Structure 1
Amino acid sequence: MITLAGVSKNFGNTRAVNQISFKVEEGETLVLLGTSGCGKTTTLKMINRLIEPGSGTICIDGRDIKQENPEELRRRIGYVLQNIGLFPHYTVAENIAVVAKLLKWGKEKILERTFELIEKLHLPDDCLNLFPHQLSGGQQQRIGLARALVTDPAILLMDEPFGALDNVTRSSIQAEFKALEEFKRKTIVMVTHDVQEAFELADRICLMNNGEIVQIGTPKDLLYKPVDDFARRFLDGHRLALEFKVITIQDIWEFLPDASPERTENVLSAEMDVWSAMERLNSAASDESPDYLHPHTGQTKGITFKVLSSAFHSYQNSKRND
């Protein structure tokens, strides 16, 4: 869907981005992660030509973006900002409709799509006639998402989209982001400096430093196969919390004890991460041992909080000894 090949950008004598290359597959979420000033936002903005690349090639669907009209290119790509960027003197409905009107959609089509999105994003119907300052920060961010999604673009670019929100609101919107079908079928490139957010939302992570790509891979790749000291040190302060979030029941299956298949109640799913599973088990009665039946092998495991914790540590040790 998106290909960057040998892309660089200078601002005066400063090289902000230096010869970077990567591909983003259709339907994939790629997160650009790194310290402030590493070139991740410049990279994002070059994809829709808000910043013109100095050299190299950027293609979308195999077509060089230099061959396209910049305004038409941007209308086909959703864009979400950290500061949301809502027009203060437009109502919520008018803000959401901006791109659709530029594409000359009819009023009924715009209204139908607007109501569809505010329902999906858990916004009240009566918010449409309000102005941005009358909404909470979380509601404003949802309106920003709705505006980016209204024309159902195939590509979504997100620049620190949740950075201005408090931790509770951010976690809530991140959960909605992961669950919403609208996002699952889009190709997304997202910028963040928040390690936890990157690991929560990314299919793959592009770790950057000083305008260059240090490593690109899955969250597990970055955790267990760092390519150098920078990649290793970058995650050091978050490593244990990240492991709880990226390791799943499926990953630790071999370290869980077998159980007799007396029940086949799927209390825990194979895709559930260890942290979520521990929260679920911690809230259950202490004498309960939820069974889990593997959907492919037919094996049954009896999983308690203690058993899960032990299997998690065994998996950690196995990866560190690889």
Structure 2
Amino acid sequence: MSAGTLTVVEAGSAQITDLGRRRGPRFGVPANGALDQGAARIANILAGNPDDAPLIEITAFDAEFVPDVDILVAASGAEGVLRVGGVIRPWNEPVSVRAGEPVSVRALRGGLRAYLAVRGSFDVPLLLGSCAPDSVLGFGERLAAGGAVTLRAATPPVVNPAFGTALFRLDVPARAAKGVVEVADGPDAADFAGTADRLFAAPYTVSPTSNHIGLRLTGAPLPERCATGEVLSRGVPVGAVEVPPGDELLVLHRGRGVTAGYPVLAVVTSASLDALAQVRPGERVRFRRVSDADAAARARRDRAARDALRLRVRSVFAALDVPPPTSTGRTPE
């Protein structure tokens, strides 16, 4: 059901996405979805949506949109300048936008990707339960100037009762540092014998050929596989650190194929995988080994922090009589 439209004025590199298709890999289809899953979840939580509701992923360049109905938005991820009607508004907070007011995200800094959620989300096509674009299958489209996206709900303006102060102070969870990539040992770590620790000895530089399928990293000396047996093609996880022949490491991201045949030295933790979504070509990162138990504990802490944020947002919206949006997604994981 349509409540209005969001017209695209400018979108250098922006697309509608969600948290990806969980059912995809069993059919040989990559998960895809927001590369910074944590930031996408937070944007949706701030807007009062389910975690996996469709939202706009903005990469590197400026974007601007105009709704034809009143809406409520929230921006998260790589911090930038959020303007509504030409006025700078807070990042990581719910913000009202009146019909006809331009809402823009510009000057991203400290990262590569920002996420703009609209309360009630968008009415978009789904493939295997997800709107995440897949360039191989030809599903989904990047947003382009002059296009429009169907809105599923309108939200009346939320008026600040205390003029001159922030309407919300929601204590958004801290993000993982970009420069340090935490990894657990991969299934083929033993194949690298005494060279495995080279992964942690020096920083690696992000190659400009990196994309949503994987990040290519250069640095020396690289770990060397000492085992001589052939590595058969098998299922590989998102975040696998592969060591192919040549002078690069490959960190598989959400657009990766579900099988591969390179040795997997390590696997990036979920928090650090989100951080890798924010690194720009030419930036340097260091790897740090963590145990499986430590990685699981960090994931639990991150989930608990998001749950607490969700409760605070719901409490604020209830106190201000903000109407609930139309249901737009699956139950949060």
TM-score class, shorter:
under 0.3
TM-score by length of 2: 0.23
TM-score by length of 1: 0.24
Which structure has the larger Rg?
Answer: 1
**Greater RCO, 1 or 2 (C-alpha within 8 Å, sep 6+):** 2
Q: Higher helix fraction: Structure 1 or Structure 2?
A: 1
Q: Higher strand fraction: Structure 1 or Structure 2?
A: 2
